[in-house]
Structure 1
Amino acid sequence: MEWWVPLLLLIGGAVVVMLLGLPVGISFLFTNLLGTLFFMGGLSGLKLLILNLEEGLTSFGLLTVPMFILMGEVMFHSKMALRAIDALDYWIGKIPGRLGLLAVVSGTIFAATSGSTLANTSMLGSLLIPEMERRGYKKVMTIGPIIGCGALAMLIPPSILAVILATLIEVSVGAMLIGGILPGLLLASLYALYIVLRSWLQPEIAPPYDLPSIPLAKKIKETVIYVLPLGFIIFLVVGIIFLGVATPSEAAAMGAVGSIILSSFYGEMNRQVLTK
């Protein structure tokens, strides 16, 4: 049997099961079990699947994943990310496509504090898309920047995808995380350049609008209060790995604890946030 036949059957089976209304995780689990039975030797394949599952769940490198998720969720639900976006918005001014550019800057910073593409995209979408639509932005300049910048969390550490990939191919988790910094920043820079140039050449897709005058003192104050602390969280996660002070698992734990302490300092760590 050609290699692509099982691949097509597995992908097709997963799509069919998802169309039946089952959750994505259950759909993939069901398809993998059937694929193991039919293409990996029946019961012996199931035994191998169970052994691999146990090995994956007990991998020390994957300990970073729940810590990164916790850190991102705390940042989002405690509204620290929202306040940071507002502070960054003061500095952008009347640059063409300013809300798209704000999505790039905010998405890059939040990607370095969450590690989750889903969390990054949902945060940017819920906060920026309503404002973009209110300002008359076209779909190409609302959905595009949100999806593109939300996906930066796949590259910029602490990337959950990088941790999982490093665990699967048995390479250094720290090296994999550090290796995503330059590509992520380069991609963000290209996004920003494209948005500004496209909005300048086609102003109808991102109409300019009047902005209130913000005193310089207020800009600096908001940045110091709401943006610089996020830089400290980023250093806790990425900086100490780069300096070799801590392992990725230790850095992830420090980042999660740091985000909880920071949200408590802002008075946002309440029962509602903990429940979410």
Structure 2
Amino acid sequence: MYDWTISIAILIGGLLLSMGIGLPVALGFFAVNIAGVFLFMGGSRGIDQMLANATTAASTYSLAPVPLFLVMGSLFFHSGLARRVLDGIDALLGRLPARLSYLTLTSGTAFAALSGSSLANTGMLGSLMVPEMTKRGYKKHMSLGPILGSGGLAVIIPPSTLAVLFGSLARIDIGALLIAGLLPGVVLAMLYAGLIYGQAKVDPDAAPYFDVTPLPISKRVWIFTRDILPMVLIIIAVIGSILTGVATPTESGAMGIVAVALLALAFRALDMDAVIKAISEATRVTGMTFLLITASSTFAQLLAFSGASSGLVRWATGMDFGGMQMLLIMGLILLVLGMFMDQVSMMLVTLPVFVPLANTLGFDMVWWGLIMLLLLEASFTTPPFGLLLFVMHGVSPPGTTLPEVAKAALPYIACSFILIAILLVFPGLATWLPSLM
């Protein structure tokens, strides 16, 4: 039996090396798993165990909400309902300084609750809003920043597919983790709104004022009732069914699909093309995700079987570090990894080590999970190589540089850190709603 330091060096080092040479993440996991099986689990007998692990991991019931939430979000976008909500909010905002920045933030918050995908949120808002904001003379930090910020809300505002994956991998109650993000998500959106207000106040030319035709109250009520209220009711139904215990996350995801489909049908926006696109997109993402999960399940078992996990926990708990210091170290690791990896890959690499540590340190796992999700999202926009920065850069106007995108993201990353600090001081912000379930 190898010393735990050698075991963890072989497994983690081999995985990072495979990614460094450009091997796809899933293949890198499988390659390291096969090598680890022969080193630590006795060769062919270990291969049989690896196959059994893969089957068990892929058939875990707690992962069932993932494709359902993905189909719900994809159908919401491809049916044109997202555009209807955007136009409705635009009409209701009326005359307001920096109104397009607020429109982006408000729409992004609503879309986050229905899509659950940062990449989809950022790509769609960037394509729709940046050209109009550029035409109106908005400076880049006022057009790109709110999109990057609101795209990040998708990670913690339920239903979040990343929260479902995190809860499944970390063995945290998925319903509780989803609900825990609701109040912090609202606080984060408010921090973003305060940031936009401050930026517009300091530099009014950053978001030039333009006049809009005011609408009568009756027209505003009609637009809200027709275009926005149905979406709000769907969100309430999905979240409320989980919070009240009426439905599991899986059942609420199915309810959400039916509700979005019926709404699209009512607006005559449900056609076969939208259905095919929604299902194919969700199938592609789900297939990739499940492949990664099957590969990571054996990786986690190898860390445990080789003694790497227990050795690392003993080493970490034997140091003079307190719980907050260990949490800081976890956060720094995620911020560094976020420069090179997507969020799912980061979870698969770190959770086999982080979860035993968090349990040993006595953290409330729902509270800890929410903080990890916020750090995962912040790392997704970490300059200079955060993947969300590249998505934003891809839909930005010609001539926009990656440093400009990163500069626009920094104040919104700071808001995420402020929220994390609030959660450290007031953990009840994350744990109160789950305690009512």
> Is this a same-fold pair by TM over 0.5?
yes
How far apart in 1 are the matches of 2:101 and 2:124? 14
Q: Which residue of structure 2 lines up, in the alignment, with residue 31 of structure 1?
A: 28
Q: Which residue of structure 2 lines up, in the alignment, with residue 203 of structure 1?
A: 204
Partner AA of 1:91 in structure 2:
L
- Further displaced range: 8-17 or 264-273: 8-17
Partner AA of 1:11 in structure 2:
L
Q: Is contact 2:94-2:213 (8 Å) kept?
A: no
Partner AA of 1:162 in structure 2:
A
TM-score, normalised via structure 2 length = 0.58
Q: Is contact 1:14-1:31 (8 Å) kept?
A: yes
Establish whether residue 16 from structure 1 lines up as the match of residue 21 from structure 2.
yes
Q: Is contact 1:241-1:247 (8 Å) kept?
A: yes
The Cα of 1:160 is off from its aligned counterpart by 0.5
The Cα of 1:16 is off from its aligned counterpart by 3.0
Distance 1:50 1:147, change over 3 A: farther
Gaps of 5+ in 1: 19-26
How far apart in 2 are the matches of 1:170 and 1:249? 16
Q: Which residue of structure 2 lines up, in the alignment, with residue 175 of structure 1?
A: 176
The Cα of 1:46 is off from its aligned counterpart by 4.5
Distance 1:91 1:50, change over 3 A: same
Q: Secondary structure at the match of 1:96?
A: coil
The Cα of 1:93 is off from its aligned counterpart by 2.9
Q: Which residue of structure 1 lines up, in the alignment, with residue 70 of structure 2?
A: 69
The Cα of 1:226 is off from its aligned counterpart by 0.8
Establish whether residue 50 from structure 1 lines up as the match of residue 51 from structure 2.
yes
Aligned length: 268
Q: Is contact 2:112-2:154 (8 Å) kept?
A: yes
TM-score, normalised via structure 1 length = 0.90
Q: Is contact 1:87-1:222 (8 Å) kept?
A: yes
CA deviation string 1:109-130 (max 9, x = no partner): 1111122222222221222111
Q: Is contact 2:63-2:164 (8 Å) kept?
A: yes
Q: Secondary structure at the match of 1:197?
A: helix
Identity of aligned residues (%): 38
Q: Which residue of structure 2 lines up, in the alignment, with residue 21 of structure 1?
A: none
Q: CA RMSD in A?
A: 1.9
The Cα of 1:80 is off from its aligned counterpart by 0.9
Distance 1:2 1:111, change over 3 A: same
How far apart in 2 are the matches of 1:226 and 1:146? 21
Q: Is contact 1:36-1:45 (8 Å) kept?
A: no
Distance 1:183 1:48, change over 3 A: farther
- Further displaced range: 196-205 or 243-252: 196-205
Q: Which residue of structure 2 lines up, in the alignment, with residue 85 of structure 1?
A: 86
Q: Is contact 2:116-2:158 (8 Å) kept?
A: yes
Q: Which residue of structure 2 lines up, in the alignment, with residue 185 of structure 1?
A: 186
Distance 1:219 1:49, change over 3 A: farther
The Cα of 1:37 is off from its aligned counterpart by 3.1
Q: Secondary structure at the match of 1:214?
A: coil
Q: Is contact 2:117-2:154 (8 Å) kept?
A: yes
Partner AA of 1:10 in structure 2:
L
Q: Is contact 1:108-1:152 (8 Å) kept?
A: yes
Q: Is contact 1:92-1:102 (8 Å) kept?
A: yes
The Cα of 1:10 is off from its aligned counterpart by 2.3
How far apart in 2 are the matches of 1:94 and 1:30? 53
Partner AA of 2:164 in structure 1:
V
Q: Secondary structure at the match of 1:41?
A: helix
Of structures 1 and 2, the one scoring higher in RCO (CA 8 A, sep 6+) is 2
Q: Which residue of structure 2 lines up, in the alignment, with residue 22 of structure 1?
A: none
How far apart in 2 are the matches of 1:52 and 1:121? 35
Partner AA of 2:12 in structure 1:
L
- Further displaced range: 102-111 or 152-161: 102-111
- Further displaced range: 174-183 or 91-100: 91-100
How far apart in 1 are the matches of 2:88 and 2:81? 11
How far apart in 1 are the matches of 2:136 and 2:36? 54
